[in-house]
Amino acid sequence: MTKLVGISGSLRQASFNSALLRAAAGLMPEGAELVVDTIRGIPLYDGDLEVAEGIPERAAALKEAIAAADGLLLVTPEYNNSIPGVFKNAIDWLSRPASDIPRIFGGKPVALIGASPGGFGTILSQNAWLPVLRTLGADVWSGGRLMVSRAQTVFNQDGTIADQKIEGQIKTYLEGFVAFAASAQRAGIP
């Protein structure tokens, strides 16, 4: 069984990206599981807080979930043509202390997807993540791209997918990423 952890970079209740993550969890190929986790509850990074109190409980729990998973799916919104601050902040906490980076991210298969009301999906946000993930030593899957544009036409009011074409694209994307993560798992890459 290939186990992935997925996190949305949005805190908004009716987030298109959180809806995309939930949809992905329901469209996983046989023999794979996507556990939906959250960045909600992770405070702003503060080195003084880290020294005084250590890693916040929510960040520590998410770190352990990622470390135990075979792969990580980042579902990223795009704010001002880049990475949402709240999402980058969460990853910054997950990389603390620096000695934990290899255990959490080193060689970890990671994939990026996202949804946006705009016409270009989340291409700039996904591109902005690449140097961050390289710095952390993650193994970013480049076998496909999934950028859901005009998301307000793709999702129903309840967050379910209204567009069957997009549903098919999600399935195809996940099949590729799961195969990539399973290959790393068989090769014994952490």
How does pLDDT run across 172-185, given as a tens digit for each residue?
A: 999 999 999 999 87
Fill in the amino acid letter for 38.
T
CATH number for the domain harbouring residue 105 = 3.40.50.360
Range of the domain at 118: 2-186
> Residue 188: is its pLDDT beyond 90?
no
The per-residue pLDDT for range 56-79, each reduced to its tens digit, is: 999 999 999 999 999 999 999 999
56-60 long-range contacts (CB < 8 A, ≥24 apart) are 56/93, 59/90, 59/93, 59/94, 59/96
> Residue 189: is its pLDDT beyond 70?
no
Rounded Cα distance between 163 and 26, Å, is 15
The 3-state DSSP class for residue 26 equals helix
CA 120, 123, 124, 125 torsion-angle sign = positive
Helix axes of 164-186 and 16-26: crossing angle, nearest 10 degrees: 70
The per-residue pLDDT for range 126-159, each reduced to its tens digit, is: 999 999 999 999 999 999 999 999 999 999 999 9
Q: How confident is the model at residue 190 (pLDDT cuts 50, 70, 90)?
A: low
Q: How confident is the model at residue 37 (pLDDT cuts 50, 70, 90)?
A: very high
73 and 177 in contact (C-beta within 8 Å)? yes
The per-residue pLDDT for range 70-123, each reduced to its tens digit, is: 999 999 999 999 999 999 999 999 999 999 999 999 999 999 999 999 999 999
- pTM value is 0.96
CA 6, 140, 87, 12 torsion-angle sign = negative
Domain count, the chain: 1
Average pLDDT over residues 14-18: 96
103 and 163 in contact (C-beta within 8 Å)? no
**Buried-exposed string 8-34: b where 16+ CB fall within 10 A, e elsewhere:** bbbbeeebbbbbbbbbbbebbeeebeb
Q: What is the DSSP string of 80-126?
A: TTB--HHHHHHHHHHT-SGGGHHHHTTT-EEEEEEE-SSTTTTHHHH
